Amino acid sequence: MSAYLSGLRVRLYRCGVHVINIKPGYVKTRMVAHKKLPPYISASVETVAYDIVNSYYKPKAVVYTMWLWRYIMLATKMLPDFIFKRLNMF
Protein backbone atom coordinates (compact mmCIF):
# COMPACT_ATOMS: atom_id res chain seq x y z
CA MET A 1 0.00 0.00 0.00
CA SER A 2 2.84 2.40 0.87
CA ALA A 3 4.57 1.71 -2.45
CA TYR A 4 1.28 2.25 -4.29
CA LEU A 5 0.65 5.56 -2.46
CA SER A 6 4.21 6.67 -3.15
CA GLY A 7 3.73 6.07 -6.90
CA LEU A 8 0.36 7.82 -6.81
CA ARG A 9 1.92 10.81 -4.99
CA VAL A 10 4.57 11.22 -7.69
CA ARG A 11 2.05 10.70 -10.51
CA LEU A 12 -0.44 13.26 -9.17
CA TYR A 13 2.06 15.90 -7.99
CA ARG A 14 1.84 17.91 -11.22
CA CYS A 15 -1.96 17.90 -11.01
CA GLY A 16 -1.77 19.59 -7.60
CA VAL A 17 -2.98 16.50 -5.73
CA HIS A 18 -1.10 15.64 -2.56
CA VAL A 19 -1.32 12.01 -1.44
CA ILE A 20 -0.77 11.48 2.30
CA ASN A 21 -0.18 8.06 3.82
CA ILE A 22 -1.62 8.02 7.35
CA LYS A 23 -0.13 5.30 9.55
CA PRO A 24 -2.14 5.24 12.78
CA GLY A 25 -0.79 2.00 14.29
CA TYR A 26 -3.15 0.47 16.88
CA VAL A 27 -6.35 2.48 17.23
CA LYS A 28 -8.75 2.10 20.16
CA THR A 29 -11.86 1.43 18.10
CA ARG A 30 -15.00 -0.58 18.84
CA MET A 31 -13.51 -3.55 17.01
CA VAL A 32 -10.58 -3.86 19.45
CA ALA A 33 -12.43 -2.64 22.57
CA HIS A 34 -12.19 -6.12 24.15
CA LYS A 35 -8.41 -6.33 23.55
CA LYS A 36 -5.69 -5.01 25.84
CA LEU A 37 -3.61 -2.81 23.51
CA PRO A 38 -0.11 -1.60 24.47
CA PRO A 39 -0.76 1.99 25.71
CA TYR A 40 2.37 3.69 24.30
CA ILE A 41 1.59 2.62 20.74
CA SER A 42 -2.22 2.81 20.74
CA ALA A 43 -3.98 5.99 19.61
CA SER A 44 -7.49 7.20 20.30
CA VAL A 45 -9.87 7.64 17.39
CA GLU A 46 -9.91 11.41 18.11
CA THR A 47 -6.09 11.65 17.88
CA VAL A 48 -6.08 9.85 14.54
CA ALA A 49 -8.88 12.10 13.25
CA TYR A 50 -6.96 15.19 14.43
CA ASP A 51 -3.81 14.02 12.61
CA ILE A 52 -5.74 13.36 9.42
CA VAL A 53 -7.32 16.84 9.44
CA ASN A 54 -4.02 18.45 10.44
CA SER A 55 -2.15 16.73 7.61
CA TYR A 56 -4.49 18.46 5.16
CA TYR A 57 -3.12 21.82 6.32
CA LYS A 58 0.50 20.71 6.77
CA PRO A 59 0.93 18.16 3.99
CA LYS A 60 3.55 15.46 4.50
CA ALA A 61 4.13 12.28 2.54
CA VAL A 62 3.72 9.98 5.56
CA VAL A 63 2.09 10.70 8.92
CA TYR A 64 2.62 8.40 11.91
CA THR A 65 0.03 9.07 14.62
CA MET A 66 2.12 7.53 17.38
CA TRP A 67 5.73 8.58 16.77
CA LEU A 68 7.07 5.32 18.23
CA TRP A 69 5.64 3.41 15.24
CA ARG A 70 8.14 5.08 12.91
CA TYR A 71 10.98 3.37 14.80
CA ILE A 72 9.11 0.10 15.30
CA MET A 73 8.53 -0.12 11.54
CA LEU A 74 12.11 0.91 10.79
CA ALA A 75 13.40 -1.91 13.00
CA THR A 76 10.86 -4.32 11.47
CA LYS A 77 12.02 -3.45 7.94
CA MET A 78 15.66 -3.98 8.89
CA LEU A 79 15.09 -7.42 10.44
CA PRO A 80 16.01 -10.24 8.07
CA ASP A 81 13.20 -12.72 7.37
CA PHE A 82 15.00 -15.64 9.04
CA ILE A 83 15.01 -13.78 12.39
CA PHE A 84 11.48 -12.45 11.95
CA LYS A 85 10.14 -15.99 11.41
CA ARG A 86 11.60 -17.10 14.75
CA LEU A 87 10.06 -14.26 16.75
CA ASN A 88 6.72 -16.10 17.04
CA MET A 89 4.78 -12.80 16.96
CA PHE A 90 1.59 -14.08 15.33
Rounded to the nearest whole angstrom, what is the least distance from the CB of residue 75 to ligand NAP in the complex?
A: 18
Q: How many CA atoms are closer than 13 Å to the CA of 5, on its beta-carbon side?
A: 12
- In terms of CB distance, is 9 or 28 closer to ligand NAP? 28
State yes or no: residue 2 binds ligand NAP (CB under 6 A): no
The 10 Å CB-count burial string (b at 16+, else e) for 40-72 is: eebbeeeebeebeeebeeeeeeebbbbeebeee
Judged by CB under 6 A, the stretch of 7-15, 27-35, 53-61, 75-83 that binds ligand NAP is 27-35
- Residue numbers of the site for ligand NAP (CB under 6 A)? 26-27, 29-32
